[in-house]
Structure 1
Amino acid sequence: MRKEFFKNNDNLNALDAQYEAQKIAFAPIIFQVARTMRDLKLLELLSKNKDGLTYLELANKSNLTKYAVQVLCETALSANIVSIKDEKVFLTKIGFFINSDRMTNANMNYNHHVNYLGLFNLEESIKNGKAEGLKVFGNWETIYPALSTLPEEVKNSWFEFDHLYSDSGFPKAIKILKNLKPKNILDIGGNTGKFATLFAKENPEINITIMDLPQQVKLAKQTIYENNITNVSTYEGNILLDETLVPKGFDIIWMSQFLDCFKEEQIVNILNKIRDSIDDNAEICIMEPFWDRQNNETASFCVINTSPYFTAMANGYSKMFKYTDFEKLLIESGLNVIETIDDIGLCQTIIRCKK
């Protein structure tokens, strides 16, 4: 169900609003201080010392100077990551989540390793409609062909982030697809083949084909080989090219976090191609995180703020969708929505469509 978020975001007095504005102005510094304290294990030390530590004790335990510890802790104090009482530093609830929460850590790693340097070029990307930030990693038009060759920390953080949000929805998605009783499924944008292999293991009687770029198919083939799966095959193709046809004869066309990688006119073209390739009984099943169909404002915040990555780093033109905007593209493509299922994993919605 569509929900309203961020409704009462202008009810602060002037002084509080100015303070919030300073938090934004200093956000890059606070982010790097928090990440540094996490990675240097300062937050971990504080979590294990419930009675607090002085700057000198924290310095000795971390093999850092008292100066280094104090600089970090004072900024952390201003950001409510730590509290200071009687000359001792304590970890707050916010600090706990930065240190221990899986989602927070995946978001932080992703933003530090994948986005941080490139987002310096966001303004240029906005003006040019190109992923200008991607040049920090090499000469690529989009990030997708580059994924397998990105620096290790960048690649690991990208996949950690991607898999956290998509993988959480896989168990429920597999049950939903299985209940539709398909004989064969085409997984467009199957990426590393993680979904396909999970589905294939649980449903050996159902064949699944991964369609993706050659670079991604190579990764998928490795996943298939490592899992010794026999009911998964691959099909190389760039679906954006006019000459690339969507193979026919499938009961379900499955796309998981795929269409958010394209601009609106490209999505319509892709859906038109798919619609023309299926028969009247086949279904198109789309899994996406729509920011206006989340359970809570925290989830909506995370989904919305993934969009600048697409602008600066991925391709320069795609974004995370509001469901009501995405629905218009389905209608434009001549598709009928027969069911919309929310609460798939952390943040996903599955849309079932037919001609």
Structure 2
Amino acid sequence: MSSQAEPSQSILAALSLEDMLSIYQLSQAIFALHDLKLPEYLHKHDAQPLSALAQALETDATALTPLLEAATTLNLLQKDEQNRYSLTPTGTRLRLDVADSVIPLLHHHRDGYGAWNALLYTLQTGHPGFNQVYQMDIYQYQGQHPEKLAYFNRYMQQTTTTWLTQVVEYYNFSGHVVDIGGNTGALMALLLRRFPELQGTVFDLEQAVCQTNAVLCAAGVNERCQVVTGSFFEPLTIPTHGTIYLISRVLLNWSDEKVVEILKNCRAAMPAHSKLLILDFVLSDSNSNSTIPLLHSLHLGIMFGARTRKQTEFEQLVQAAGFTELCWIHVNETTFLLEASLESILFG
């Protein structure tokens, strides 16, 4: 889920097997900093000594010491000559009220932490470990936990800004774009601002678009965009008036069988001369042997029953759904646009 720079392969490979086994302790330590509201406290009160922090955070000073020192070695905290702790620029990202906050991603990983205990289940069955642990899929879970959905939506907005901004320079969007699974509309707002003549529709579940109108209004593009609720598993709910049907960071969350179903449902709704445009992560030759992308693929399996796919795998799925004339557009090392047309046989 992350669009941030990845640790180099050499750093990870240099770890001993014993150190690899203990990596989970890092995430738990960061979770604890968040749970204690330590970043917010330091932001409000500036540099503080151990004794003051322990008292204010209602913790044991002896137990708190190694956490603070570990956070210092991780460049989340810094300590001055008076042994007072304060936030570093990196540590500031553990506050919710900053633009590049990692708190939305932190909550996603915290939910995933328990689901990773079911990795063996995913490997044996191909089904999401998340479902096994929580007895529901992640979308049902978010529907029952509005705060989790809000964090997820904010994360999607953040990564749209940091990861997808460059996409608009690689494709000439024109006509009417239907953003399938468009969530908060952050990508649509970006497109409409970049292309003044463009019209748009954000299509997603009702729970996913609760913030969309506000996002579109804030961007000043709401008059050129409508919001339609429905499901890409219910083809009759999919808008039928688009020129471009954009599917961004959606297919990576679904199994091959479900991807073909989604694409076929879109095909059934698409006008004769419209285009399908897929924007997604692609497992390229340059990163197919790198640890982080492969762990990310495992994470998709555990959370969604999906995986990161190679170009050929995308092509097979798109063609199986009845599309042709595939064209790849390279955006960056891991991100590609795939344009496809409907098979001409469908229209005589």
Flag whether TM exceeds 0.5 (same fold). Answer: yes
Q: What corresponds to 2:63 in structure 1?
A: 68
Q: CA-to-partner distance for each residue in 1:86-115, whole Å, 9 max, x for gaps? A: 9979999xx864554847655434312x32
State the SS of the aligned residue for 1:270: helix
Q: What corresponds to 1:162 in structure 2?
A: 156
Q: CA-to-partner distance for each residue in 1:17-71, whole Å, 9 max, x for gaps? A: 4xxx22232233232123324654379969x77xxx9866875786744312234
RMSD between aligned alpha carbons?
4.6
Aligned residue pairs total 326
Deviation at 1:257, TM superposition (A): 0.6
Q: State the alpha-carbon separation in 1 of the partners of residues 166 and 326 from structure 2.
A: 19
Aligned pair in 2 of structure 1 residues 96, 323: CA closer, same or farther (>3 Å)? farther
Q: What corresponds to 2:252 in structure 1?
A: 260
Which AA in structure 2 matches 1:311?
G
Q: 2:226 aligns with which of 225, 233, 237?
A: 233
CA contact 2:39–2:92 (8 Å) conserved in 1? no
Q: Using CA pairs under 8 Å that are at least 6 residues apart, name the structure with larger relative contact order, 1 or 2.
A: 1
CA contact 1:30–1:79 (8 Å) conserved in 2? no
Deviation at 1:184, TM superposition (A): 1.2
Q: State the alpha-carbon separation in 2 of the partners of residues 264 and 311 from structure 1.
A: 12
Q: CA-to-partner distance for each residue in 1:153-187, whole Å, 9 max, x for gaps? A: x234322333333332443334545x34x221111
Query: TM-score scaled by structure 2?
Result: 0.70
Deviation at 1:197, TM superposition (A): 3.5
Q: State the alpha-carbon separation in 1 of the partners of residues 141 and 222 from structure 2.
A: 26
State the SS of the aligned residue for 1:238: coil
Q: What corresponds to 1:352 in structure 2?
A: 339
Aligned pair in 2 of structure 1 residues 150, 348: CA closer, same or farther (>3 Å)? farther
Q: What corresponds to 2:106 in structure 1?
A: 108
Q: State the alpha-carbon separation in 1 of the partners of residues 130 and 169 from structure 2.
A: 39
CA contact 1:330–1:336 (8 Å) conserved in 2? no
Q: State the alpha-carbon separation in 1 of the partners of residues 112 and 268 from structure 2.
A: 37
Q: What corresponds to 1:205 in structure 2?
A: 197
CA contact 1:217–1:236 (8 Å) conserved in 2? yes
CA contact 2:75–2:90 (8 Å) conserved in 1? no
Deviation at 1:125, TM superposition (A): 4.3
Q: 1:288 aligns with which of 280, 285, 310?
A: 280
Q: State the alpha-carbon separation in 2 of the partners of residues 339 and 34 from structure 1.
A: 39
| Alignment partner of 1:133 is 2:122 | no
Q: CA-to-partner distance for each residue in 1:99-143, whole Å, 9 max, x for gaps? A: 54847655434312x322333334334444444535776x63x32
CA contact 1:97–1:104 (8 Å) conserved in 2? no
Gaps of 5+ in 2: 1-6, 95-99, 343-348
Query: TM-score scaled by structure 1?
Result: 0.69
CA contact 2:232–2:266 (8 Å) conserved in 1? no
Q: What corresponds to 1:319 in structure 2?
A: 307
Aligned pair in 2 of structure 1 residues 68, 128: CA closer, same or farther (>3 Å)? same
Gaps of 5+ in 1: none
Identity %: 16
State the SS of the aligned residue for 1:70: helix
Q: 2:318 aligns with which of 322, 327, 330?
A: 330
State the SS of the aligned residue for 2:242: coil
Q: State the alpha-carbon separation in 1 of the partners of residues 13 and 222 from structure 2.
A: 56
State the SS of the aligned residue for 2:222: coil
Q: CA-to-partner distance for each residue in 1:206-244, whole Å, 9 max, x for gaps? A: 321222234335554565577672222234433234x54
Which AA in structure 1 matches 2:307?
K
CA contact 1:166–1:257 (8 Å) conserved in 2? no
Aligned pair in 2 of structure 1 residues 151, 266: CA closer, same or farther (>3 Å)? closer
Aligned pair in 2 of structure 1 residues 80, 291: CA closer, same or farther (>3 Å)? farther
State the SS of the aligned residue for 2:307: coil
Aligned pair in 2 of structure 1 residues 240, 223: CA closer, same or farther (>3 Å)? same
Q: State the alpha-carbon separation in 2 of the partners of residues 269 and 296 from structure 1.
A: 26
Deviation at 1:264, TM superposition (A): 1.1
Aligned pair in 2 of structure 1 residues 225, 290: CA closer, same or farther (>3 Å)? same
Aligned pair in 2 of structure 1 residues 262, 88: CA closer, same or farther (>3 Å)? same
Q: 2:329 aligns with which of 315, 332, 340?
A: 340
Q: What corresponds to 1:171 in structure 2?
A: 165
